[in-house]
A and B are shown apart, each in its own frame.
Chain A
Amino acid sequence: GAVVSQHPSRVICKSGTSVKIECRSLDFQATTMFWYRQFPKQSLMLMATSNEGSKATYEQGVEKDKFLINHASLTLSTLTVTSAHPEDSSFYICSARHSTGVTETQYFGPGTRLLVL
């Protein structure tokens, strides 16, 4: 089946630094990818929709200058957490939409756990 990878799987950084998280669709092209954030024991909250070749669409309340998204190719989207602070510590999960022309399915990456000290 379709596979989505994320890198890194886990990152610890100091407050004030920027962290880049990659999301790749390994065996299909994805014009649309989604970035979610999950707090401990909570559900996934959609942060933004990443569209290949155009600007990302952010959900209400998500700072676009804080969470920079770049969808540079049909298989790669990156999320950069700029000037990270402890409250940005969370589990970040991406998904990629696979369209066959008949069906559409989202495949999720394994997640990236970010800890900001």
Chain B
Amino acid sequence: GNSVTQMEGPVTLSEEAFLTINCTYTATGYPSLFWYVQYPGEGLQLLLKATKADDKGSNKGFEATYRKETTSFHLEKGSVQVSDSAVYFCALSDRGNAGKSTFGDGTTLTVKP
């Protein structure tokens, strides 16, 4: 079955530091890959996505590249802000599986001023 493994947290960084959150996946077929962000007490918001190999998703300074050869979709940001503090979920959606999403366990990011 499908699975997503992401870097364990929590991650604590100082403002303007470089962020990497690792994500690897196992899937049959050719899934789409996503990063979602969840702020305290709220639902999930789509941060970025990539639908095929070598695609790069980007939004709000965050980037992730769909690497089929390493089955990875690592999230990066060059300079984090306090407002980026949240829980980040890596996920895949397998169209061959009725589009159901499989989520990683989430990584909590805290950015200190």
A interface vs B, CB < 8 Å?
6, 32, 34, 41-44, 46, 49, 57, 93, 95, 97, 103-111, 113
User: How many whole Å from A14's CB to the nearest CB in chain B?
Assistant: 23
Q: Which residues of A contact B104 (CB under 8 A)?
A: 43
B interface vs A, CB < 8 Å?
32, 36, 41-46, 49, 51, 89, 93, 95, 98-106, 108
Which one of B51, B100, B106 lies within 8 Å of A34 (CB-CB)?
B100
CA distance A116 to B15 in the complex (A): 39
Given A46-B101, A46-B102, A49-B100, 18 other A-B contacts at CB below 8 A? A34-B100, A34-B101, A41-B108, A43-B89, A43-B105, A43-B106, A44-B89, A49-B98, A103-B51, A104-B32, A104-B95, A105-B49, A108-B36, A108-B43, A108-B45, A109-B43, A110-B42, A110-B43
A106 adjacent to B42 (CB under 8 Å): no
Q: Which residues of A contact B93 (CB under 8 A)?
A: 104, 106
Which one of B46, B89, B98 lies within 8 Å of A105 (CB-CB)?
B46
Q: Which residues of B contact A34 (CB under 8 A)?
A: 100-101
